[in-house]
Chains A and B, each alone.
Chain A
Amino acid sequence: MVVKASQDDPEKARRFREAALPYLDDAYTLARYLLRDAADAEDAVQECYLRAYKHFDSYRGPAMKPWLFAILRNVCRAEYARRKTAPTAVEELPEGGDQTPLWNEAPETPEKQLLRRFDGDTVRKLVAALAEPFRETFVLREIQNLSYREIADVAAVPVGTVMSRLARARAMLRSAWLAEQEQVK
């Protein structure tokens, strides 16, 4: 990736580094969960930072992290689109799939016992197995600590949609968690 000569402004680059590079691990983490592939995640984050630098003049805040994430998400969606033609397509729910009422998969009666704790690898696997768009919403909330408003801005959906997706995501994760717990018993 090469920055055009007109972009070659050391002062702008300095401000950009200072503002954006502290979120590199966050961006990489999000890309890993969205794309579920280390090499693709690396490419996406690189592309994200290049685009962010290009548009940095128009950045007016408020927060850098959601701004970067919105760019990164668009990069990742382009990657999904590319994969659609590839043999290992990423599963996505049909249009409006996340509008399915929650009670269609009403949670079974909660267990009396305590939930089992898993190691980091297992938890990562469980989160990564969530279907989109629930995985994205879940990661933005639980791993990136974004507010509902910020998640809505990143994903370009209303706050109400964030709320229902998060409810679905947590219900799905809970089922997967209990199933995993059952398996390792």
Chain B
Amino acid sequence: MNCEEAEVLVHALIDGELDAGHAREVEAHIEGCAHCAALMKEYQEIRQAIAESDVRYKAPLELRRKIEKALPQPQAAPSRRSVLRGFAMGSAVSAMAATGLVAIVLRNDDEQRIENEVVSAHLRSLQAGHLIDVVSTDQHTVKPWFNGKLDVSPPVIDLTAQGFTLIGGRLDYVNAREIGAVVYKRRQHVINLFVAQTASTDRKSAKISTLQGFNIRRWSDRGLNYWAVSDLGADELTEFGDKFEGAMRANKEG
């Protein structure tokens, strides 16, 4: 292999796209050619630098809203629709206010529908390969993974010592919005903790309900709504929620 060929194929080598035979040929050339070896090192350094730079863009909220608006709304109740149409026409209403308004409108009459969606999301997550987007038992890995993917990152708390193992995080979709899900396990039981932003900062104490054989523990705190969903018994899910809220309080004070 000569340098001309190597200078093209080295990229496929860096990208892991070469078959074993060609990879060996390129590697053999690089071993004997200081020029190509140094080039490859530079390409790898540039690649690394790009991977570590902030080279991505985040879609403006307004764009997300425009696309949402063009799609048929999921089982929209007439009252909600008219309210949404109302603010969509007022151009002075900022996107943030619009987000808040949805949350307020929903809290009144759509709680049941959202609980249904949360259970559907839980069921979907149990299908093979759907549970976790970022696999980690380390909260310091899971937490930053959410940054930039959501307007508000969910709190990620390691509860392993309390008997609930953090296994990762996922982006999910509830109520026509992207939402963070933090995934825990106790024995073989999966707990999905869904976290969504809400306009209200009131603390709402926990409520346990049962839907399609799953238990849901729902609460609100510091502008976030939480739904913990699992096939765990109500007592153990309550224990999970208590441990989580306790750890949150300890974090805030500590």
Contacts and interface: CB of A to CB of B under 8 A. Distances in A.
Interface of A: 1-3, 7-10, 12-14, 16-18, 21-22, 24-25, 27-29, 32, 41-42, 45-46, 49-50, 53, 101-103, 106-107, 109-111, 114-115, 117-120, 123-124, 127, 141-143, 147-148, 163-164, 166-167, 170-171, 173-174, 177
Given A9-B72, A13-B72, A18 B63 contact: no
A14 B71 CA distance: 9
Chain B interface, DSSP helix/strand/loop, else mixed: helix
A102 B8 contact: yes
Nearest to B120: A14
A21 B67 contact: yes
B118 to A, nearest CB: 14
B253 interface: no
A166 B249 CA distance: 51
A3 B56 CA distance: 30
Chain A interface, DSSP helix/strand/loop, else mixed: helix
B67 A148 contact: no
Q: What bracket does the count of chain B residues touching chain A fall in?
A: 35 or more
10 contacts: A14-B74, A22-B171, A24-B64, A28-B58, A110-B42, A111-B42, A117-B49, A164-B8, A171-B7, A174-B43
Nearest to B43: A170
A24 B63 contact: yes
B132 to A, nearest CB: 14
A141 to B, nearest CB: 7
Nearest to A148: B17
B42 A102 contact: no
Interface in B40-81: 41-43, 45-47, 49-60, 62-64, 66-68, 70-75
